C-alpha cells in the first residue's frame, strides 16, 4: 500500500487537502457500524494494512458520526478519518462547522469533513422535508463560511468536501469547498467530475469492489449491492441517466453493463486496474468499499479479509 503519510497529487486540492495526507487509496464502509471495540480493531487493521483513510456514512438511527470519528482517531495513529457523508439535515451549519473544527484541532491533518444532502427517505425519517437540495447546500456552506468562531483554531485547516454527483453540485463543490466525494459512480463520472471541478479540488470517489472472478457469482454479489438501496434512490438514478444509462439498465438490480461499471469485480489485478482507471480519469483518492456475501458460511469472505487480500495489489495503484 502507499505510505499513508503520502499526499495526493501535487495539482490536487487546496492547502487544507495537501496537509491532510489521504494517500491514493482509502476504505469506505457503510452500515451502522459494529460495536465500538470491534470498530476500532477493524480501523486499526485498515491503518496497519497501509490504507490512507477510512470513510463512513451517516444514517438515521446509526452512530453519531463525529463521536465515532473522534473515537477512531483517538485509537489510531496515522490514518485519516472522513465522514462520507454527514447529513446537512441532521444539524445546523454552526454545529457542523464546530464539529469539524473541534476534531481538526484535536487531531491535526487527520480529519476530512464530508457533507451531503442525503436522500428523501432518510431526511423524512428525521422529520424534515427534502426540498431544493442544491439551494439548501449553497446556503448551508455560506453560513459555515460566515461564522465567527472563537474556539481554538486547528493547527491545520480541515478540508471540507461534499457528496456531489451532477454538474451544478459539482460546480458548487469547486466554488465553495475543497472538493467532492461522489458515491456509486463509474469511471466516466470521475472524468466528467474532474473537468467540472478543475485541477485544484480534491476528487475522492467511492468504488464498490467484489473479489470474485466468476462472472455469474460476481454479478450476483454486485447486484445485491446495487439493488439494496441505490437503484431506488432518485439522486443516483438521475446521475446514471446523465451518464447515459437507461431505465432498462437500472431494472432488476442493474444490467451487466451498469453493474460492471459501478462495481469492480475480479481478482486483485482486475480491481487494481479499476482503481487505476479512476486515478487516471482524474481522481486523487479512491475509497474502496468491500462488498461481500451476507451469508455466514465457511466460503464467505468478510470485508476485512477482502481488504487484507487487496492491500498488496493496491500498493502501487
Q: Any idea how long the chain is?
A: 317
pLDDT of residue 15: 74
pLDDT digit string, tens, across residues 44-78: 999 999 999 999 999 888 899 999 999 999 999 99
DSSP 8-state symbol, 147: -
Classify strands 53-56 and 25-28 as parallel, antiparallel or unpaired: parallel
Can you give the pLDDT at residue 31?
Answer: 74
- DSSP summary character for residue 7: P
Mean predicted lDDT score pLDDT of the chain = 91
Count other C-beta atoms under 10 Å from residue 266's C-beta. Answer: 19
288 alpha-carbon distance from chain centroid? 8
Q: Residues 15-205+267-288: name the CATH superfamily.
A: Luciferase-like domain (3.20.20.30)
- Whether residue 88 is predicted with pLDDT greater than 80 in this model: the reply is yes
Burial of 202 (0-12, 13-18, 19+ CB in 10 A): buried
Q: How confident is the model at residue 91 (pLDDT cuts 50, 70, 90)?
A: very high
State the Cα–Cα distance between residues 267 and 209, nearest whole angstrom. Answer: 10
Q: Residue 118: left (phi > 0), alpha (psi -120 to 50), or beta? A: left
Cβ atoms of 95 and 191 within 8 Å: the answer is no
Statement: residue 7 has pLDDT above 80: no
Q: Is the pTM of this model over 0.85?
A: yes
pLDDT confidence bin for 90, thresholds 50/70/90: very high
Residue indicated by cell numbers 452500515 = 31
- The set of cell numbers assigned to 263 is 462495481
CA–CA gap between residue 23 and residue 118 (Å, rounded) = 26
- Spatial separation of the C-alpha atoms in residues 38 and 69, rounded to whole Å: 14
Q: Across-strand partners of 173?
A: none
Percent of the chain clearing pLDDT 70 (strictly above): 93
Amino acid at each position: 500500500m502507499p505510505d499513508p503519510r503520502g499526499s495526493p497529487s501535487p495539482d490536487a486540492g487546496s492547502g487544507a487537502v495537501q496537509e491532510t495526507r489521504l494517500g491514493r487509496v482509502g476504505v469506505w464502509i457503510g452500515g451502522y457500524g459494529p460495536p465500538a471495540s470491534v470498530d476500532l480493531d477493524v480501523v486499526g487493521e485498515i491503518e496497519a494494512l497501509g490504507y490512507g483513510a477510512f470513510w463512513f456514512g451517516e444514517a438515521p438511527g446509526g452512530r453519531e458520526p463525529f463521536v465515532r470519528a473522534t473515537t477512531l482517531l483517538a485509537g489510531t495513529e496515522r490514518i485519516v478519518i472522513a465522514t462520507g457523508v454527514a447529513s446537512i439535515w441532521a444539524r445546523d451549519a454552526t454545529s457542523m462547522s464546530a464539529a469539524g473544527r473541534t476534531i481538526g484541532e484535536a487531531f491535526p491533518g487527520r480529519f476530512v469533513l464530508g457533507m451531503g444532502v442525503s436522500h428523501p427517505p432518510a431526511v423524512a425519517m428525521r422529520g424534515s422535508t427534502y426540498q431544493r437540495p442544491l439551494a439548501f447546500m449553497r446556503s448551508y456552506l455560506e453560513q459555515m463560511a460566515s461564522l465567527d468562531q472563537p474556539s481554538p483554531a486547528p493547527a491545520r485547516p480541515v478540508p471540507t468536501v461534499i457528496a456531489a454527483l451532477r454538474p451544478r453540485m459539482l460546480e458548487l463543490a469547486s466554488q465553495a469547498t475543497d472538493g467532492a466525494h461522489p458515491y456509486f459512480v463509474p469511471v466516466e463520472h470521475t472524468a466528467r467530475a474532474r473537468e467540472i471541478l478543475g485541477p485544484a479540488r480534491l476528487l475522492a470517489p467511492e468504488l464498490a469492489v467484489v473479489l470474485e472472478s466468476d462472472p455469474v457469482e460476481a454479478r450476483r454479489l454486485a447486484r445485491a449491492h446495487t439493488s439494496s438501496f441505490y437503484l431506488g434512490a432518485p439522486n443516483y438514478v438521475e446521475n446514471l441517466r446523465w451518464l447515459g444509462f437507461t431505465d432498462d439498465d437500472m431494472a432488476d438490480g442493474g444490467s451487466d453493463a451498469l453493474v460492471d461499471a459501478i462495481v469492480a469485480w475480479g481478482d486483485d489485478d482486475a480491481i487494481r486496474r479499476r482503481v487505476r482507471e479512476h486515478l487516471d480519469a482524474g481522481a486523487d483518492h479512491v475509497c474502496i468499499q468491500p462488498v461481500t456475501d451476507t451469508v455466514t458460511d465457511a466460503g464467505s469472505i468478510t470485508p476485512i479479509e477482502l481488504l487484507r487480500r487487496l492491500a498488496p495489489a493496491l500498493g502501487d495503484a
